[in-house]
Amino acid sequence: MLLKWTKKLSSLPLCVSPEVCADDYMVNAAAISDDGSRVVAGTYYQNYVNTSRPRLDGRYGVYVFSTAGSGTLLFSHEYDGDKGIYAVAMSGDGTVAAGGGLLTMGRVSPFKPKRGLLLAFDVATGTKLLETSDITDRVTSVGLSRNGQVLVAVADKSLFVFLRGSSGSFSNPPHVVTLVGYCETVAVHPSGTWLAAADQQGVVYMIPITGGVVGTPVTWIANEPLNPVNPLSLMGPVKFHSIAVSRTSDAFAVGGWNFIYLLTRLSMSGSTPGPVARFSSVDAAGGHNVRWVAIADDGSFVTTVVNDTDHPTHKGLLIKLSPGAGQLTPDFKSPLKNPPNSTSVDSSGTRLAVADGFPNFTPGAFYLFDNTGAKLDTHVTTDMNWPIQISADGSGIVGGSDTNTLSFFTP
C-alpha cells in the first residue's frame, strides 16, 4: 500500500485567534470512483472524547480531487456553519459527487433554525446539481447510483430520493419516505433500481425504483435478546449503524450492535421478508460492537470490523463472513491494533481495506488485507481515521483522518 499523496482540506484552521485549541477538522467521510480516478471528502467537527473545543461552528466543506500524480483539487465548496459534512458519495462512473451534514444547530444567531444540508456536484465542471437545507436535521448518510442519476440520503426519521431531470439537476422537492426510527445508513444499488436502509428501531427497508417512480418500502424488523448470553431474555430492536449493497447482485448486508444480517431483494419480497443469513459477534468475552460492514460484488461474503477493546494486545477485529445454512460463518478474524471504524472491499474480492483509531489524539492506522486475512500493509497515522474506501477496480484507496487530511494510496 503506497501513499501517493496527502492533502489538507479546510482552508481555514478550526481555531481562529483569539481562540486557542489543539483540535482540528475531522474527515468523517470519503468516497472514490470505480476506477480510482476521482475522490470526494468532507470536513466535520464534533467535541468527542479527548477534544477540548466546545464550539461546533467552523468553515466546513466538500472537496473533490483527481487522484492522478500528486493529486489535484478539482473544486471545493466551503461554507460557515455547525458541525459540517458528515457523509459523502461518489458515483461509480466518477461524474457526480455529493455531501451531506449539518448547516446549523439552530442555537446561535444567525445560524437559526436547525437545518441539515445536502449538496451534489457535476465533477467535470464543479457545477452545483443540488443544494438544499430544507432538511430539519443532520444528513447522516448519502448514496449515488453508478451513473449519478439517483441520489439518496437520510436524516433523522426521513429518507430522501432525488432523481436527475432532463436539465441535469436533481429534482427538488424529493420523494420522501418516513421511517420508523432514527436512521444513519442508506445505500442505493449501482443500477439505481432499488435502495436499502436500516434504522435504529431495527427496521430494514428495501425500496424499488422503477421508471423514475419510487415504490412502496418492504420492511423487516430485527429483534434480538437484550442479554446476548441469555437467549430467553427480553427482546429488543437492533440499532443499525452500517449498510452495504453489492455491486452486481441483489444482496445487501446490514450491521449494528452485535449483529449482521445478509438479505436479498428476493428474501425481502416474499410473504415473510427477512434475512438469508445471520451473524452474532457474541463470544465467551461478550459482545463486540459492529462498526461497519462491506459486501462482495456477488454477495458471496461480507466483511465487518468490530470492537475488541478488552483484548490485551489488540482493540479490534476484521472478520470475513460467508453465508451457509442460514448463518454467516467467520472465514477469519484478523486483529487490528486500535478500535476500528470502517472497511471496504474491491470488486475482485481480494483486497480488503480498514481504517481504525480511537479516541482523538491517539494514533490510528490504515490497513490492507488479502481475502485470507493476511495483512499486506499498514500505514500508521498520528490521529484516528474514520473513513476508508477502495475503488471497485482495486487501483486506489482513499482514507480520511481527524487531522483535516485526506490520503490516497495505491495497493
> What mean pLDDT is predicted for residues 32-36?
98
pLDDT computed for residue 17 by the predictor: 82
Domain count, the chain: 1
Q: Which residues, 6+ apart, have CB-to-CB distance to 167 below 8 Å?
A: none
In a domain? residue 393:
no
Degrees, nearest 5: CA angle 240-356-319: 60
pLDDT computed for residue 384 by the predictor: 96
Q: Which residues, 6+ apart, have CB-to-CB distance to 315 below 8 Å?
A: 307, 308, 309, 336, 337, 338, 339, 356
Tell me what the pLDDT averaged over the chain comes to: 95
pLDDT computed for residue 169 by the predictor: 95
User: Does the pLDDT of residue 154 top 60, yes or no?
Assistant: yes
- Cβ atoms within 10 A of the Cβ of 114, count? 16
pLDDT computed for residue 111 by the predictor: 55
CA distances from 4 to 70, 379, 399, 409 (A): 7, 12, 12, 5
In a domain? residue 272:
yes
pLDDT computed for residue 270 by the predictor: 83
Long-range pairs, 158-167, Cβ under 8 A, ≥24: 159/183, 159/186, 159/197, 159/205, 159/207, 160/118, 160/135, 161/195, 161/207, 161/209, 161/214, 162/120, 162/130, 163/212, 164/129
pLDDT computed for residue 105 by the predictor: 84
Show the cell assigned to 257: 450492535
The torsion of the CA quartet 153, 155, 158, 162, rounded to 10 degrees, works out to: -20
In a domain? residue 102:
yes
In a domain? residue 402:
no
407 DSSP assignment: E
In a domain? residue 260:
yes
User: Does the pLDDT of residue 217 top 80, yes or no?
Assistant: yes
Answer yes or no: are the C-beta atoms of 255 and 240 closer than 8 Å: yes
- Cβ atoms within 10 A of the Cβ of 182, count? 15
In a domain? residue 44:
no
- pLDDT for 366-385, tens place per residue? 999 999 999 999 999 999 99
User: Does the pLDDT of residue 104 top 70, yes or no?
Assistant: yes
Q: What confidence tier does 230 reach under pLDDT thresholds 50, 70, 90?
A: confident
Q: What are phi and psi of 113, to 5 degrees?
A: -80, -175
> What mean pLDDT is predicted for residues 100-121?
83
> What mean pLDDT is predicted for residues 303-311?
94
The alpha carbon of 308 is separated from its chain's Cα centroid by a whole number of angstroms, namely 21
Instruction: Give the C-alpha separation, 142 to 156, whole Å.
Output: 13
pLDDT computed for residue 110 by the predictor: 54
Query: pTM of the predicted model, to two decimals?
Result: 0.95
Q: What confidence tier does 290 reach under pLDDT thresholds 50, 70, 90?
A: very high
Range of the domain at 297: 52-59+71-84+94-387
In a domain? residue 16:
no
Q: What confidence tier does 233 reach under pLDDT thresholds 50, 70, 90?
A: confident
Say which range, 30-34, 57-61, 224-228, has the weakest mean pLDDT. Answer: 224-228
Q: Which residues, 6+ apart, have CB-to-CB distance to 217 below 8 Å?
A: 177, 205, 206, 207
- pLDDT for 160-177, tens place per residue? 999 998 889 999 999 999
User: Does the pLDDT of residue 271 top 80, yes or no?
Assistant: yes
Question: Taking the CA of residue 105 as centre, how many other CA atoms within 13 Å lie in the half-sphere pointing to its CB?
Answer: 11
Q: Name the β-bridge partners of 332.
A: 320
- Cβ atoms within 10 A of the Cβ of 385, count? 31
In a domain? residue 392:
no
Query: Which residue intervals of 86-245 are DSSP H helices?
Result: none
- pLDDT for 60-99, tens place per residue? 999 999 999 999 999 999 999 999 999 999 999 999 999 9
User: Does the pLDDT of residue 109 top 70, yes or no?
Assistant: no
Give the highest mean pLDDT range of 7-11, 105-109, 267-271: 7-11
Give the CATH number for residue 172.
Answer: 2.130.10.10
Q: What confidence tier does 157 reach under pLDDT thresholds 50, 70, 90?
A: very high
Instruction: Give the C-alpha separation, 58 to 56, whole Å.
Output: 7
